[in-house]
Structure 1
């Protein structure tokens, strides 16, 4: 009990320290907060200082955090924006990534199961991690933001399908039948939710939005827990249920008053990113086996190798989803965003390690590459987008010969009537 109490307090402290560290470094470099959360977990965990240990309770909270991360991803995807070309081309790119990832897995691993584990890890995109970054950068509704949302939707949903098919302990045929049943059931629920007006439901949400009843948040927890438990009972990965719950909630609340929806989104962010999600990332750092990673130079060398493979196997096919007319800088940004992966990597390598398909060293190397991708790729991608934004005004001025544009370009130059030659 004493160990649990100390771990809970220290995890809460790390969750507070992480945003402060982000703020302090912000003038120098923009580092995603999840990187600090993971690194702080490693620092205080058994791998280094040993001040925090994983307990069944903290692991359960971390599982809730991972489920909430996928719920937020399902809830925030704008399916009307990504339908058509974005989702089709993102899906085609993901199929290429999966095939290439499994092929690379066969080269690196001695068994088909390990090859599939590596392939699924390398074809994932961390939508739940990227969405806050894209949103904070003001790119949510831009063509680039739409492309990243399509890539992330496929890059999280596709691996969840693969995990449910190959790592549930069932034969692939039976697993396919169960998966199809789950998809049909949730699809029917989403269809009817999209057609109903939910007048009484929305009225109850409005009445309790600022009271202790909090009907909306309680409904969210009911939807989330129900679909997570259903997926687990069917032998599927729980994250599939969490993702589907996010989509179902988005459809259910779509016709509520806009002001109410904004308040609910704020509350979801508070529960997810203020409580549960940080615990997941800190716990990921606590469980990270640094000793296994540094046990041999060969295992350590896998980290940069997997990082390069993420760029090649996941990043390059992501270019298929680039909007028409994208500049080279924008394409580089899409490549980097598409290659950013971590939550699926953590989930699938945990399954592989627990079932004996891959070693702790392989698992740590994949997770380490995922952490580096979250640290480096979005940062460089945002730099590419900022470079494009900085050059756009100059390009516009060059293409616009109007006197107004020239005057704006000249800045502080005085008008011709006030030149020095008049004196």
Structure 2
């Protein structure tokens, strides 16, 4: 099939997926991304063979992943993700990294263990946030803690990828990361500077015109941070996450009255176009044949799924803030153990480097896909009637 035909098929799936999610959601609240991925697998080379990868589609998919990470970075509320909660989040992730690397090397050897161990520490914040938002729980105390844990679980593996998976010496990688940190700090200082009234006026006046100044500015900030990370030889996801945080500072500081509307437009561009392409292409490129043809790969899938809980979930449970109830701590464990986007990125690097076998990557990605399907559903069930009803009340409490 041609690239244009594949794009039409992908966008058809993007339209069909929310209809299926809405229809089945009356009985079982299945996350939207599951339909996108499963339908992608269905039309991919290993099942119907209707769609395949290509340069244009891969570029759009990479932009979709960048937009997903960007939106995750934008959601970080700095006034809530700080203090004791942030310290606990960082501590939980560092424990996950140590345990993940140790288990990965013990089970698969030193070279493979670094890739697998890093993947086990990730949290799919960009995937979990829409679930919490749709459940009305994003602004609650639980949602804020999950945001902190998820932010570190998203940002930490990206840093680890730059240090451990780049192929450079740790010293050189550290220098490059420091350079990017200085660049980001400069961008943050610029973002926090007071803006003259004309800036917010231009945003407001072009918000509903063809000018769309704010949207274009956001896209420029994303492109600049992606370009900066690429120029330094770092993973572009690092730039995407930083761009999201910087964009929030710019909009909240310069045009708080328009920030919500601007975000809605960016989300429409992301979740309406680019992000679905990433998830559908993830399904299309998923090596189902490698997973099903070898007994070892199929056996590895539940093992990796359990390791997501042990490596990522248990440290989160142990270091969760004490004011959370027991079932909320268990739900937090499940949400934090949900992984996918960074697992796809890390396994792709591992296969390209010739370190991971395709069946091992398929088992790891397959486990991440199951985690997206199972863990948020279990987490929502644990939260039960607290979702929505108490979420608004808790969100209004003072930190």
- TM-score band by shorter chain is over 0.9
Structure 1 distance, partners of 2:204, 2:388, is: 43
Structure 1 distance, partners of 2:37, 2:388, is: 33
SS of 2:384's equivalent in the other structure is helix
Query: CA shift at 1:308, angstroms?
Result: 0.5
Runs of 4+ in 1 over 4 A off after TM superposition: 387-392
- 1:233 corresponds to which residue? 231
Task: Decide whether the 8 Å contact of 2:290 with 2:358 is kept in 1.
Answer: yes
Structure 2 distance, partners of 1:95, 1:255, is: 32
Matched, 1:281 2:253: no
Q: 1:220 aligns with which of 203, 218, 221?
A: 218
Structure 2 distance, partners of 1:40, 1:119, is: 29
Q: Report matched runs for 1:118-267 at 5 Å.
A: 118-267=116-265
Task: Decide whether the 8 Å contact of 1:144 with 1:322 is kept in 2.
Answer: no
| TM-score between both structures, scaled by the size of structure 2 | 0.95
Task: Decide whether the 8 Å contact of 2:194 with 2:254 is kept in 1.
Answer: no
Structure 1 distance, partners of 2:242, 2:197, is: 23
Task: Decide whether the 8 Å contact of 2:137 with 2:387 is kept in 1.
Answer: no
Unmatched 5+ residue regions in structure 2?
391-399
- 1:299 corresponds to which residue? 297
Structure 2 distance, partners of 1:82, 1:371, is: 27
Task: Decide whether the 8 Å contact of 1:86 with 1:146 is kept in 2.
Answer: no
Structure 1 distance, partners of 2:385, 2:198, is: 49
Higher-RCO chain (CA-CA 8 Å, sequence separation at least 6): 2
Structure 2 distance, partners of 1:28, 1:344, is: 30
Matched, 1:25 2:24: yes
SS of 1:82's equivalent in the other structure is coil
Query: CA shift at 1:327, angstroms?
Result: 1.9
Q: Report matched runs for 1:327-346 at 5 Å.
A: 327-346=325-344
- 1:14 corresponds to which residue? 13
Structure 2 distance, partners of 1:75, 1:319, is: 25
Unmatched 5+ residue regions in structure 1?
393-423
How many residues get paired? 390
Structure 1 distance, partners of 2:385, 2:214, is: 41
Larger Rg: 1
Task: Decide whether the 8 Å contact of 2:105 with 2:111 is kept in 1.
Answer: no
Structure 1 distance, partners of 2:147, 2:82, is: 11
SS of 2:242's equivalent in the other structure is helix
- 1:271 corresponds to which residue? 269
| TM-score between both structures, scaled by the size of structure 1 | 0.90
Structure 2 distance, partners of 1:240, 1:189, is: 14
Structure 1 distance, partners of 2:344, 2:82, is: 29
Task: Please provide the CA RMSD for this pair.
Answer: 1.5
SS of 1:86's equivalent in the other structure is helix
